[in-house]
Amino acid sequence: MAHSRLRSRALQPALSMAASAAASSGAAAKPAATAAEHAGAAAAAVADSELLRSLCVPDPEYTLGGIHGDTEPSHPSVAMHLIRQLIPGQDLTRTAVPPWYLEPRSLLERFADIMMHPEMLLAAEGGKDAEARILGVAAWYLSGWHYRTTGVKKPTNPIIGETMGTFWVHEDGSRSTYLAEQVCHRPPISAMHVRNVTHGIEANAAIHTRSKFSAPQTAQSILEGGCSLQFHNHGEEYFVTFPTANALGLLFGTLRMELSGDVRIACAKTGLAVELSFHIAPFFGGADSKNRVTGALKRGDEKLGDIAGQWDSIVMLTRGGAAAPEVVMDLSKHTVAPKMVLPLGLQGPWESRRLWAPMFEAMNARPTVDWDAVTRLKNQMEEDQRRLPCHSHGHGQLTMGWAAKLFKPATVHDPVTSTDVPIWTLDEERLGLTRTDEVNAVALSRNTHDIRGGEPGPIPTGKAAEGLVSSAHAPAAVVAAAAAKAAKAAPAAAAAAAKPAPAPTAATTRPAPAAASKASKPADGKAAESGAGEATAPSAAAPQGDKPATDK
């Protein structure tokens, strides 16, 4: 089974439809699969998913909360690059960002930082009353913004169809999962799902990232959209909004990143709300003015207390009267929890880390970075995406839409403004899940594929798997070499004994990534019925400076 074709639960509806169509048309010579065969296939899919989860490794300590001990490589002037391109108020979504201003992480992974302290979300759900729970939600929310980079950096914009899956293991044995997908390109929309079945926690969110240049020398990343956070054991749903990220000092002074704007956390059932304002430090302000947040705890129009502090350290609540201030959040009492992730060589072709591995490896070169090579890799990736059918234009109109793989459009009610805000939620029906099912985010992220073709390779076991896990955080070329060696060492007997899938699928298995490959194609990928072309994902093995693989 280890070398059989991976059957994700996410693909079971498609398999069932294919089997039904074949039976009704008489194309299949054999009788329809029995219930026992379907049950066996489902069991195999679950077993494979569990095997994937067992192969996950924690992020290394030096990356938790930001890369520690790194030095900023030399690069050209950001100011001169921007002066040549920007005017106040200009939309930055179509402006080329210099590669030295990019962080070697995708925005989908950046949004996972909201779970740097997942135990705080569990503590919020376990609050003794409604006020304790909403203040706990505020503490968890504020704890998700302190990730630090060397210098001011902007995460890489995800490509359409890109996915990210990870999870955290808690002291009580429960797991919190994070699954994300880039569901739209214009406008750029990222969909996210967080779940902890044991504690009855579920969150669905969509963020439309809109960027602009603001005079005199600030670039803003405005996070529009909303989040629905549900505590099922209490019947509570919280509506949450997001701040604006500002890169200040682009032209002179010290380049720095700060948050600004008003956000709210509101619960319709309890009538409680936490209103927060993020403040930009004045030019001549002291240390106490940096990363400042103020706000209030309210029930309807009644203010129950004032909130003040710094969102990267400690935040307090002061109620009326002589009551002593209460601690809302104190990050000194918490450590960043490591994400559990698949080794690079085991990830699917459209997962964030593997997809961008060649460019990120070039960006992480030390002591110097070949920025021309980084630019070539970035441009090639963008050009590959422009050739997708959903990016083709005919008389100013899109000729083909994009079908999200894991999420579907929905709305969440904002109790403060009494409006319905569009978001995206996990498509449980399509994925064969219910609210009480644990989401295996790493399996769903790895195994989904789309009209571009390409699927992940077989799951190695034994020493082959050990080689991949031991090199989980090695450079991409090392990981790819280990993956190629693991595939070559796979016992032929196991492959011969592998059972076939119960029904045909849309594309055949994609081989494991091979070392130093300059291009790769799906084994037998077929275009969509609409005649859409394909473009395979860049291999994690692509040498620094090579172009990502693509079907011409």
Residue 36: inside a domain, yes or no? Answer: no
Burial class (CB in 10 A: 0-12, 13-18, 19+), 413: middle
What is each CA distance from 43 to 1, 246, 432, 485, in whole angstroms?
A: 11, 48, 13, 29
Cα–Cα nearest to 127, from 232, 234, 230, 229: 234
Q: Are 221 and 209 in contact (CB under 8 A)?
A: yes
Residue 353: inside a domain, yes or no? Answer: yes
Residue 102: inside a domain, yes or no? Answer: yes
Residue 466: inside a domain, yes or no? Answer: no
Q: How far apart are CA 545 and CA 148, in angstroms?
A: 27
Cα 280 to the center of its chain, rounded Å: 27
Sign of the C-alpha dihedral, residues 183, 53, 113, 295? positive
- How confident is the model at residue 462, as a pLDDT? 62
Residue 229: inside a domain, yes or no? Answer: yes
Residue 59: inside a domain, yes or no? Answer: no
- How confident is the model at residue 66, as a pLDDT? 80
Residue 42: inside a domain, yes or no? Answer: no
Range of the domain at 422: 77-461
CB 531: neighbour CB atoms within 10 A? Answer: 8
CB 87: neighbour CB atoms within 10 A? Answer: 7
* Contacts with 462 (C-beta within 8 Å, 6 or more apart), sequence order: none
Number of domains, the chain: 1
Length of the chain: 552
- List the alpha helices (DSSP H) in 3-93: 12-25, 35-54, 78-83
- How confident is the model at residue 183, as a pLDDT? 93
- How confident is the model at residue 86, as a pLDDT? 56
- How confident is the model at residue 161, as a pLDDT? 92
Q: How far apart are CA 118 and CA 22, in angstroms?
A: 46
Q: How far apart are CA 12 and CA 15, in angstroms?
A: 5
State the residue for tokens 């405005």. 222
**pLDDT, the chain, mean:** 76
256 — phi, psi (to 5°)?
Answer: -145, 160
State the residue for tokens 């994400």. 339
- 3-state SS, 313-347, equals CEEEEECCCCCCCEEEEEHHHCCCCCCEECCHHHC
351 — phi, psi (to 5°)?
Answer: -85, 145
Residue 237: inside a domain, yes or no? Answer: yes
Tell me, what CATH number does 245's domain have?
2.40.160.120
Residues in the chain predicted with pLDDT less than 50, given as ranges, are: 1-31, 394-399, 471, 473-483, 485-486, 489-552
Cis bond before residue 158 (omega within 30° of 0): no
